Structure 1
Amino acid sequence: MSAGIQTATETRSGKGHKDENFPVASHLIHPRYRGAILAFYDFVRAGDDIADHTDLTPERKIAMLDGLAEALTGKGPPDPEAAPLRRELAEHSEPPTHALELLDAFRMDARKNRYADWDELIHYCRYSAMPVGRYVLDLHGEDPARVWAASDAICAALQILNHLQDCGKDFRNLDRVYIPADTLAKYGADVAMLGADKASPELLGVIRELARCTLVLLEEGAVLPDLIDDLRLSLEIAAIHRLAVVLTKGLLTRDPLSEKVHHGKAGFAVTALGGIAKTLVRRPFRGRAIRQATAEAGR
């Protein structure tokens, strides 16, 4: 079936940054960085779409991901899915390291569809999520020694939250289960329960334990907005963090198989602005910069 698919562009799902659960380079981010972040997102989305494509064999997926990597580094033929990020990296004097690590995560997705325990899941997040935060922070010139650890915790939490929200869809559509096998076993649950219209009590126990673990990660990362020098980026991350906390707490009482565990537009805005406001109160007053950043947030 995959013989007719020759390029990464042909695998694109049509999903864009505005379809994500969390802001991607919102207007809080300074315009000088937005293009580089959106180019990074589009490149990563191209890789993710390859990994999730149901008509491709694992071998073909890996070959196409290798092609994206070679196009990004200039070691192979150019690819329209890699060209914008390649230009942005050159303009900002940034290496391709973080983008290449995300391709490693998609190679894992091509080969692997089950996870044994929490540590194995966090290892996956090290490549599937943490490079995103690191890239954005590096792009802004933040100090990795000061900010990477808190960022890694938030990014891992966002990834696991996404896994929990989409656990039924991932199982039904991709036969992919990110919920650790040992946690399923602890509650007497099994992967087949993910295919039901409603979560069993056993599966709800699993989801709620993992949600609590995710809240611990979010608590570890809560300090990040206060560690960031760039005010606008600080507010963006504060909004994302607050949105993630509210959604994760929702999983303590709701069933992602039968209920929507996502923000509506109004709830999204109110929750995000709440996170921004709390961060502004904590940070030293910065006059015009604060007024400008909050005005941008309202656009």
Structure 2
Amino acid sequence: MTHLPQTAETTTAPLPGAAPLSAGVRHYENFPVASLLCPPALRPAVMAIYHFARTADDIADEGNADATQRLVDLGAYRQALQASLTRGQPLTARWNGVFAPLREAIQQHNLPANLLHDLICAFEQDVRHTAAGHHYADTTELLDYCRLSANPVGRLLLHLYGVNDAPSLARSDQICSALQLINFWQDISVDLPRQRHYLPTDLLQRHGLPREAFDAGASPDAATQVRMAQAVAALCAQARALMQQGAPLARRIPGRAGWELRLVIQGGLLILDKIAALQHRSWQQRPRVGAADVPRLVWRALCMR
């Protein structure tokens, strides 16, 4: 689902004071948010945004609720967001641990409300698509989803950093969309059993692949597996190109924030390298970035031009 810029693998527990739907759920993240590189003055706002998105993700994705209940809860969550955007409006007790710090961040930094609402739209879309067994037709449709699920995060962070020129926003969108796509191709073995169908239909058709070939328990023959790997390789190449288009933004962001962005970019590219090392068979095994990869990430970040 939604993925915020981060810097090395951790398992992230909900923050103190939170009241997500699935209390105690722990989340694998490729790149943890609000690392030591994040400017200290901005860290509370970054964590408030992360906690807002992560809790909405829990509502949409965790527990045993059906799609109808998830959408009801997301509707209530949107109302709670609107209350946090309105001065004098009392906050709901249900998610006070989320919206009290978010309201403070909104008031202190004048966060754009539309970007926060877009993130909820992405979660609602995921719930509806999962319930309907929706298959994305092509990359254009996937990128339209990224516009809601990933790009708002980058734009919110740029807003905190005081960067709002059009070229920087466009590069931020490229980086965030690339991160979302990379996560899709990293998570094929996780998403398909949960009825999340992100492999674009047009690409599967070009490679002569039935979607069922990627299902757990499927036994595609050797020739089909070659075509499957070629399809994943094509998707990864597209994500890599998108990331490289956005990468110059790291030189535009000053100080510690710029260095964190370098690590975010290199973390995404490293996942693509790990998928390639699996011969692009990420439907069989989920690649991860771990603590042992940190020196390589730092070196690559230092070498970025």
Say if 2:280 is the partner of 1:250.
Answer: no
Q: 2:115 aligns with which of 95, 98, 101?
A: 98
Q: Which amino acid aligns with 2:258?
A: S
TM-score of the aligned structures, taking structure 2 as reference length: 0.81
Cα pair distance change 1:100/1:275, threshold 3 Å: farther
Could you list the per-position Cα deviations for residues 113-139 of structure 1 after superposition, in whole angstroms to 9, with x for gaps in the alignment? 421101000000000100111111101
Alignment of 1:122-201 (within 5 A): 122-172=143-193, 174-196=194-216, 200-201=225-226
Taking the aligned partners of 2:55 and 2:229, their CA distance within structure 1 comes to 33
Partner Cα separation in structure 2 for residue 65 and residue 10 of structure 1: 11
Structure-2 residue corresponding to 1:3: none
How far 1:245 moved relative to its partner? 1.4
1:175 to 1:8, Cα distance in 2 relative to 1, 3 A: farther
Of residues 35, 41, 46, the one that matches 1:37 is: 46
Report the number of matched residues. 269
Work out whether residues 146 and 227 of structure 1, in 8 Å CA contact, stay in contact via their aligned partners in 2: no
The percentage of aligned residue pairs carrying the same residue is: 31
Q: Compared with structure 1, are the counterparts of its residues 8 and 180 closer, same or farther at alpha carbon in structure 2 (3 Å cutoff)?
A: farther
In structure 2, how many angstroms separate the alpha carbons of the residues matched to 1:13 and 1:98? 27
Identify which of 292, 297, 300 aligns with 1:266.
Answer: 292
Structure 1 length-normalised TM: 0.83
Distance 1:54 1:185, change over 3 A: farther
C-alpha RMSD of matched pairs (Å): 2.2
Structure 1 segments (4+ residues) deviating >4 Å:
none
Residue aligning to 2:234: 209
Question: Structure 1 residue 54: deviation in Å?
Answer: 5.4
Q: Which runs of 5+ in 2 are unaligned?
A: 1-17
CA distance in 1, matches of 2:267, 2:30: 9
Higher relative contact order (CA closer than 8 Å, sequence separation 6+): 2
Work out whether residues 78 and 120 of structure 2, in 8 Å CA contact, stay in contact via their aligned partners in 1. yes
Contact conserved, 2:20 with 2:58, CA < 8 A, in 1?
no
Gaps (5+ residues) in structure 1? 1-6, 283-299
Pairwise mapping of residues 266-285 of structure 1 onto structure 2 (< 5 A)? 266-267=292-293, 269-279=294-304, 282=305
- Please list, as runs of the form range in 1=range in 2, the aligned pairs for 1:80-95 lying within 5 A after superposition: 80=96, 81-95=98-112
